[in-house]
């Protein structure tokens, strides 16, 4: 019987680590290959920065170096000098010499020091934002397509079922009378009007499924990060105007601000708030639910109504 996948993965990882520890060279070899950086420059490990610099300039020029393979040696010497002239990389190299058994740790420190200072953090941040924004957009588009088609199917099924009920026919009749001023006309010329009335009533029956809005580039992380200063400035300006208008001047709330306070007090999402009938919104706003006492009274009425229906 084959071992579980988890055991197989652990065994493979342990085998790989063992092979690396046995086969791989000393961790200090990643700096100057198999050579010693100090030996390449002809200095001891206790040499100071000035001595290392003098040794490099003495060996760096081919005309001062009698070695026939001076060009190849020059590359090694230059690499050794780059490692030893920097205090941080020299400290890492000395640590690798003293602790050759810590292969993974020394290797990670080397590549971090080698590539870290060569990579502009700004480009890394931009690249990361672009990648995240791409994944975010694809995820939103996939979700939108799934919900959009589901919404169409569910709406058609729901409207077809509702149209068969007596309540729908009564509502259609009332809407027709409302548009004709209470006069019923059975002439053929009114068939087009009846069809228009039925279409309008069908639109009222369409279901609004939360989250079925088309993705926008303004919702992506990258775009939001770019416009972040503008967003912060706009937010500060809005809060300042709000404080001056309603806290300092004690002005009455405008309709838009009263709607915002009502929505925030009820903690209703924006897309769900948009699906509420205007008459219901007007009733909620008139209750001044942003005041704590009115909100508590409203919730008490809802609980009482819920118990009554049970």
Residue 303 has pLDDT above 70, yes or no: yes
* Bigger pLDDT: 91 vs 180: 91
Q: What is the pLDDT of residue 290?
A: 92
Place of tokens 């694809």: 138
Average pLDDT on 242-253 reads: 91
Q: Considering the chain, what percentage of its residues have pLDDT values greater than 90?
A: 16
**Section 219-240 average pLDDT:** 87
What is the overall mean pLDDT for the chain? Answer: 75
In the structure, what pLDDT confidence band is assigned to residue 251 with cuts at 50, 70 and 90?
Answer: very high
Instruction: Tell me the CA distances in angstroms from 103 to 39, 94, 256, one per residue in order.
Output: 22, 14, 65
Given a cut of 60, whether residue 3 has pLDDT beyond it is no
33: closest CA among 66, 67, 77?
77
- The answer to whether the pTM exceeds 0.75 is no
pLDDT average, residue stretch 151-176? 65
Residues 22-37 pLDDT 10s: 444 455 567 887 788 8
Q: What is the pLDDT of residues 65-102, one digit of tens each?
A: 555 666 778 888 888 888 898 888 888 888 888 888 78
pLDDT higher than 90, residue 201:
no
pLDDT of residue 271: 73
What is the C-alpha to C-alpha distance for residues 262 and 33, in angstroms, rounded to an integer? 70
CB 247 within 8 A of CB 194: no
Exposure string for 222-231, b = 16+ CB within 10 A, e = fewer: beeeeeeeee
Amino acid 211: pLDDT: 45
Check residues 184 and 52 and name the one with the higher pLDDT.
52
pLDDT tier, 242 (very low <50, low <70, confident <90, very high otherwise): very high
Total Cβ atoms within 10 A of residue 246: 15
Task: Examine the pLDDT at 289 and tell me if it is beyond 50.
Answer: yes
Q: What angle do CA 276, 281, 284 make, to 5 degrees?
A: 130
Mean pLDDT throughout 255-281? Answer: 87
Look at residue 26 in the predicted model and tell me its pLDDT. Answer: 53
pLDDT, tens only, 108-159? 777 666 665 555 667 777 788 888 888 888 887 887 777 666 666 665 666 5
Q: Taking the mean position of all CA atoms in its chain, how far away is CA 121?
A: 19
Closest C-alpha to 287, from 295, 278, 279, 276: 295
Q: What is the pLDDT of residue 75?
A: 83
- Which pLDDT score is estimated for 18? 47
């Amino acid at each position: 019987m084959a071992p579980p996948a988890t055991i197989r993965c652990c065994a493979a990882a342990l085998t790989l680590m063992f092979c690396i520890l046995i086969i791989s060279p000393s961790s200090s070899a990643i700096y100057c290959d198999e050579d010693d950086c100090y030996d390449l420059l002809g200095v001891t490990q206790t040499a100071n920065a000035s001595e290392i610099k003098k040794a490099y300039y003495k060996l760096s020029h081919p005309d001062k170096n009698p070695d026939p393979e001076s060009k190849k040696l020059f590359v090694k010497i230059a690499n050794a000098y780059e490692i030893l002239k920097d205090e941080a990389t020299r400290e890492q190299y000395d640590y690798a010499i003293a602790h050759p058994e810590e292969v993974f740790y020394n290797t990670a420190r080397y590549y971090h020091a080698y590539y870290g200072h060569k990579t502009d953090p700004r480009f890394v941040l931009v690249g990361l934002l672009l990648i995240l924004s791409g994944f975010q957009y694809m995820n939103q588009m996939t979700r939108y397509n799934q919900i959009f088609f589901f919404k169409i199917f569910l709406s058609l099924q729901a409207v077809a079922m509702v149209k068969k009920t007596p309540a729908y026919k009564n509502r259609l009749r009332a809407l027709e009378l409302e548009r004709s001023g209470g006069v019923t006309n059975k002439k053929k010329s009114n068939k087009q009007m009846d069809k228009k009335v039925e279409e309008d009533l069908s639109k009222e029956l369409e279901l609004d499924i939360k989250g079925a809005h088309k993705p926008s580039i303004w919702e992506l992380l990258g775009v939001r990060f770019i416009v972040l200063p503008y967003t912060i400035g706009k937010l500060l300006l809005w809060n300042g105007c709000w404080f001056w208008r309603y806290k300092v001047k004690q002005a009455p709330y405008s309709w838009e601000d009263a709607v915002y306070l009502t929505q925030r007090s009820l903690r209703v999402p924006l897309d769900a708030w948009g699906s509420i009938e205007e008459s219901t919104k007007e009733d909620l706003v008139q209750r001044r639910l942003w005041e704590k006492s009115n909100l508590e009274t409203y919730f008490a009425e809802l609980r009482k109504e819920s118990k009554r229906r049970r």
